[in-house]
Amino acid sequence: MIVVHRWAEATAHHRERFSELLEGYHRRTEHEKLLGREPREDEAVPTTTLPARYRAEVADPGTAFAADEILLAVEDGRVLGCVVLTAGPSPELKRLWVDPRARRRGVAATLLEAATTTARRRGDDTVRLSVWHWRSAAIALYRRSGFVAVASWDDRPGLDCFVRSLD
């Protein structure tokens, strides 16, 4: 059974695993941005130096996301995925990532639901997210989860933006 833990409840092992997931997320995303698409299953993601801001997140996520809510999907002690719900007037879901070995098991949907429930409980009216347009499986999940496409608030080409009302 998948259980979602908040950062404050996470063990040292869970926190270390979150850093590993973040690094995998950033490496994959940087590779996709170079390709302009998702890599094929047989394409290895090269080991490249990440931008400084991403290295800082990986090195110390507790500090990087100190004002935000970090949620971890855990099953039998293993961290399967993560998401960050930002604080502020326009709460945003960031860093939604599932270990490739745990995909297609409902982990991302579980994290999305936990994050929107957390946002609703703290009084947020909406939650938003952005996603690269080539991530069609993620976009389909967001639409199924009640997110609707909106005009972009980000000027990076290829980034689609979505909002979900929490009313």
Please give the share of the chain, as a percent, with pLDDT higher than 90: 69
Question: For the chain, what is the mean pLDDT?
Answer: 92
pLDDT in tens, 76-126: 999 999 999 999 899 999 999 999 888 889 999 999 999 999 999 999 999
**Which residue range(s) make up the domain with 62?**
3-165
Compute the distance between CA of residue 16 and CA of residue 55 in angstroms, rounded to an integer.
14
pLDDT of residue 34: 81
pLDDT of residue 115: 97
CATH number for the domain including 107? 3.40.630.30
Q: What is the CA radius of gyration of the chain?
A: 15
**Residue 130: strand pairing partners:** 161
Q: How many domains does the chain have?
A: 1
Reduce the secondary structure of the chain to three states and give it as a string. Answer: CCEEEEHHHCCHHHHHHHHHHHHHHHHHHHHHHHHCCCCCCCCCCCCCCCCHHHHHHHHCHHHHCCCCEEEEEEECCEEEEEEEECCCCCCEEEEEEECHHHCCCCHHHHHHHHHHHHHHHCCCCEEEEEEECCCHHHHHHHHHCCCEEECCCCCCCCEEEEEEECC
pLDDT of residue 16: 93
Compute the distance between CA of residue 79 and CA of residue 13 in angstroms, rounded to an integer.
9
What average pLDDT does the segment 58-62 reach?
Answer: 94
What average pLDDT does the segment 43-67 reach?
Answer: 86
Question: Is the pLDDT score of 42 beyond 90?
Answer: no
Residue where the block lists tokens 């908040």 = 6
pLDDT of residue 161: 97
